[in-house]
Amino acid sequence: MEIAIVLILLLIAVVLFATEKLGVEMVTLIMLIILTSLRIITPDEAFAGFSSDFIIIIASIFILSAALDETGILDFVVIRLVRLARHSSNLMLLLVMLITGTVSAFMNNTTVTAMFLTPLISLSKRINKSPSKLLMPLAYASILGGTCTLIGTSTNVAVSGYIAKVGLPPVGLFEISGIGFIIFIVGIVYMMTIGQRFLPSHDDQQLTEEYKLQKYLTEIVVMPDSPLVGQLAFASDLTTLNFRLLNIIRGKDNFLPDFRTRIAAKDVLLVEGDLDNLMKVKETKGIEIMADVIVEKDLVTDGIRLAELLITRQSNLIHRTIKEVNFLQRYGLVVIAVSRHGETLRTKIGSIRLQLGDLLLVQGSSERLEQLRTSPNVAVLDEFEPLLFKKRKGILTMSCFIAAIVAGTTGVLPLSIAFLLAAIATILLRCINTEKAYGAIDWRLLILIGGMTAFGTAMENSGAADYLAHGIVDLMGGLGKIGILAGFVILTVLLTQPMSNAAAALVIVPVALRTATEMGADPRSFAIAIMLAASVSLVTPFEPSCILVYSPGKYRFSDFIKIGAPLTFLLVIVILIMVPIIWPM
């Protein structure tokens, strides 16, 4: 009975992760409550993952990464990249992937992608190159670079922590560097040759054209006898017709309305709405339509401009609507449209529940947009302005990072203590303040990993892991150890599509360990193969790093399949050849 319950809960979790109806952290916590209430796991087992040292390692690396970003050292690297690669597209692509992958070997890959995203978009514009030629390689390099060290991705750290919990030796900091380096180089060679040929190229467009807004924007003149006179801008008759008021031109002033603004006679209102309602407005007394088609210059003045905002992984806007967060009052910006996975969403903007990787087309003052540049909630995707390079703090942060790696590798300190000490040192040395340090930690990811570790325990306690292991051995035993290992690797690649990499690995590892034991194979070899397989699934854009570049790169879903599927196949072959050689079964 317990086996059925655990497997049903696993299926439900996969569906919820895929549909994103609930945040992954909420799904994880609800699963823990159910498993504990049914006494499949004890409260101690449910929360053991949250007190594990690998949680400390991941949180510390988030803080160190944010400190590096805060010092401007990565912006300094990008400026040098512009100078080196200005005259050669191939050199630029090679340098982008080499630098991104190297940095990602020691930092979370999603964080690295977010750090380099805006600079690379700006770089592309400077040299008249389509951002789509660089952003997918950026994402792939950050993902594959993470396979080079234990701390390169949270998946590696989580799997290492799990196998240590069941009595196997944990993964060393550089134990996987050999195979990780091969995976990384294969990715670079592929993208420099085959992959580069299939990368799309998109011409730069005005933002209004890109979001197809012309037919939805119009200017309305408010006549003295109009019932709109005296009405609140955001509670007027236009609102009942589902129009959104973007701008008011009053005399020589062009300004953004707020919740206290009242409409006056002779105001010129720039509004957005659908064509059916536009026809109704034309028949309304006291209103004159000036233009049915508006170009970008009408939305932009000396103090007001358009910009794109990217929802980042650490954003507290994820799973919340624009209306819930009071976007206009909070940021002083009007959201005109939302782009998600290449589809522009324009109707009922306020009720759209935001997701990682969403692009918001916003209008607002230059001052407000500048204030958002340091926000962890969004990345402003317009002209890149490098942070001031704080050389002293940059050197101190790098020194702390390197010292933690050396201390953890040599055994002077446990890895978790070494990185925690380095993170605390960057705060004490004022390389980053406490508030930004806490904001840099991806708490959703920590909850997911801690909770899925407990789910692995539930699979063991219930007998689900044994049940699945017996079934796999009976079904595929004739294929031998390599055949069954291949089955687990492929299953991992497939399961990372609806689930996060770490969650997929933590679900499969308990079953793989039991299966390996049943066959007389080394369980650790299976665990490492699954750990690596979780980081080479590039078939679809569901990996967070790919989601971040999806909309800014103007990619289609088919672009990832066309380019990522062959690369994933090559990398799976590398894993199946190299793992049995380095970690004999």
SS3 361: strand
Q: pTM for this one?
A: 0.78
**CATH code assigned at 281:** 3.30.70.1450
Lowest mean pLDDT among 93-102, 294-303, 463-472: 294-303
Q: E-strand spans in 253-319?
A: 253-255, 268-272, 287-291, 304-311
Residue 172: how many CB atoms within 10 A of its CB?
Answer: 14
Q: What is the mean pLDDT of the chain?
A: 82
Q: What is the pLDDT of residues 22-31, one digit of tens each?
A: 777 888 888 8
**Among 177-186, 314-323, 327-336, 350-359, the range of highest mean pLDDT:** 177-186
Q: What is the pLDDT of residue 389?
A: 58
Cα–Cα nearest to 181, from 141, 135, 154: 141
pLDDT higher than 80, residue 240: no
Helix axes 557-582, 480-495, angle to 10 degrees: 150
Helix (H) or strand (E) holding 336: strand 333-340
Q: Which pLDDT value is given to residue 577?
A: 94
Per-residue pLDDT at 280: 65
Residue 521: name the closest of 473, 465, 475, 574 by CA: 473
Q: Quote the pLDDT of residue 166.
A: 85
The last residue of one of the domains, among 359, 380, 401, is: 380
Query: Same domain, yes or no, for 467 and 563?
Result: yes
Q: Using CA atoms, how far apart are residues 107 and 535, in angstroms rounded to an integer?
A: 14
Look at residue 473 and tell me whether its pLDDT is greater than 80: no
Residue 75 has pLDDT above 80, yes or no: no
Provide the pLDDT confidence category of residue 484 given band limits of 50, 70 and 90.
Answer: confident
124 and 241 in one domain?
no
Mark which of 380, 405, 432 sits at the end of a domain. Answer: 380
> Model confidence at 203, in pLDDT bands (50, 70, 90)?
low
Whole-number Cα distances in Å, 356 to 3, 53, 59, 142, 249 = 34, 28, 20, 17, 35
| Structure confidence by residue, pLDDT tens digits, 508-524 | 888 888 888 888 889 99
Where does residue 200 fall: left (phi above 0), alpha (psi -120 to 50 degrees), or beta otherwise?
beta
437 found inside a domain: no
**Mean of pLDDT values over 43-67:** 85
Instruction: Give the pLDDT confidence score for residue 566 in this predicted structure.
Output: 94
Q: Residue 266: inside a domain, yes or no? A: yes
What pLDDT is recorded for position 424? Answer: 93
Do residue 279 and residue 219 come from a single domain?
Answer: yes
pLDDT at 294 over 60: no
Query: Could you give the C-alpha distances from 148 to 29, 116, 309, 407, 410, in angstroms and in order?
Result: 31, 19, 32, 18, 18
Contacts of 378 (CB under 8 A, 6+ apart): 309, 310, 311, 312, 315, 317, 360, 372
Structural domain contains residue 61 = no
Cα–Cα nearest to 552, from 201, 191, 310:
310
In this structure, the number of other CB atoms found within 10 A of the CB of residue 422 comes to 25
Residue 467 scores a pLDDT above 80: no
H helix or E strand, kind and range, residue 8: helix 2-19
Instruction: Give the residue, 559 or 80, on which the prediction is more confident.
Output: 559
Which range, 60-64, 393-397, 421-425, has the best average confidence (pLDDT)? 421-425
Structure tokens at 242: 């589902």
Whether residues 124 and 224 share a domain: the answer is no
Are residue 278 and residue 374 in the same domain, yes or no? no
> Range with the lowest mean pLDDT among 225-229, 259-263, 359-363, 387-391?
387-391
* Residue 222, in any domain of the structure: yes
Cβ burial of 375 (10 Å; 0-12, 13-18, 19+) is: middle
* Amino acid, res. 29: L
542 and 512 co-located in one domain: yes
Q: Are residues 275 and 324 in the same domain?
A: no
pLDDT of residue 210: 63
| Interaxial angle between packed helices 443-462 and 501-519, expressed in degrees from 0 to 180 and rounded to the nearest 10 | 30
Q: Which of 11-15, 370-374, 410-414 has the highest mean pLDDT?
A: 410-414
Task: Reduce the DSSP state of residue 250 to 3 states and report it.
Answer: strand
Angstrom distances, CA of residue 538 to CA of 240, 460, 562: 45, 30, 10
Residues 83 and 135 in one domain: yes
Q: How high is the pLDDT of residue 83?
A: 64
Size of the chain in residues: 585
Confidence of residue 236 (pLDDT cuts 50, 70, 90): confident
Examine the pLDDT at 373 and tell me if it is beyond 60: yes
pLDDT of residue 514: 86
Single out the residue in 245, 267, 293 at which a domain terminates.
293
Burial class (CB in 10 A: 0-12, 13-18, 19+), 409: middle
Per-residue pLDDT, 299: 61
3-class SS of residue 232: strand
CA torsion through residues 260, 263, 267, 270, sign: positive
Does 195 share its domain with 220?
Answer: no
Q: What percent of the chain has pLDDT over 70?
A: 86
Mean pLDDT for the stretch of residues 226-236: 86
pLDDT for residue 543: 82
**Residue 582: C-alpha distances to residues 41, 230, 388, 578 (Å):** 35, 77, 45, 6
- How much is the pLDDT for 371? 79
The span from the CA of 506 to the CA of 516, in Å, is 16
pLDDT top residue among 371 and 263: 263
Residues 192 and 256 both lie in one domain: no
Give dist(CA 509, CA 515) in Å, integer: 10
Q: What is the pLDDT of residue 276?
A: 64
Query: Do 191 and 226 lie in a common domain?
Result: no
Instruction: Give the lowest-confidence range in 44-48, 86-90, 425-429.
Output: 86-90
pLDDT tens, position by position, 501-510: 888 888 888 8
Residue 447 lies in a domain: no
Residue 204 has a pLDDT of 58
- Both 467 and 577 in a single domain? yes
**Domain span holding position 281:** 214-293
Q: Say how far apart CA 532 and CA 184 lie, in whole Å.
A: 12
Token couple for 520: 């007389």
* Whether the predicted pLDDT of 217 surpasses 70: no
Say if residue 582's pLDDT is above 90.
yes
* More confident: 533 or 519: 533
Residue 487 placed within a domain:
yes
Distance CA 431, CA 584 (A): 44
pLDDT of 116 above 70: yes
Judge whether 184 lies within some domain.
yes
231: pLDDT strictly greater than 70 = yes
Residue 305 has pLDDT above 90, yes or no: no
Work out the number of other CB atoms within 10 angstroms of the CB of residue 478: 9
Q: At what angle do helices 480-495 and 523-533 cross, to 10 degrees?
A: 30
In a domain, 353, yes or no: yes
Residue 110, pLDDT > 90, answer no
Q: What is the pLDDT of residue 578?
A: 95
Query: How many domains does the structure of the chain reveal?
Result: 3
